[in-house]
Amino acid sequence: TGIRYWNAGGELAARALSPGILLFAHGLQMAITERKQVFDFLRGNESYKYEVGATDVDVLMITVPAA
């Protein structure tokens, strides 16, 4: 029902071209075209996420002990 978006890093020499914004825009357009209900930025509170409308949701971690 959704798309998970992960920004893995960047190249300083290409920063002025904003490749991360281009990839984000493409992913968001794909999510809209495919009628996805969720565009998940995964964890982290980087400002670029909120600049495009992200909202916080609780993330739970469950540890299952080995048998």
- Residue 61 reports pLDDT greater than 90: no
The predicted-structure confidence for 10-55, as pLDDT tens digits, reads as follows 778 877 877 778 888 888 899 999 999 988 888 888 888 898 889 9
pLDDT for residue 8: 67
Which H/E stretch holds residue 48? helix 47-51
Angle at 40 between CA 22 and CA 59, to 5 degrees: 145
Domain positions in the chain are 2-51
Q: Which residue has the tokens 């071209």?
A: 17
Q: Can you give the pLDDT at residue 36?
A: 92
Q: The tokens 């509170």 sit on which residue?
A: 45
Per the structure block, which two tokens stand in for 23? 């990839």
Q: Is the pLDDT of residue 2 over 90?
A: no
Amino acid at 57: V
Which among 22, 23, 20 has a CA at the least distance from the CA of 9? Answer: 20
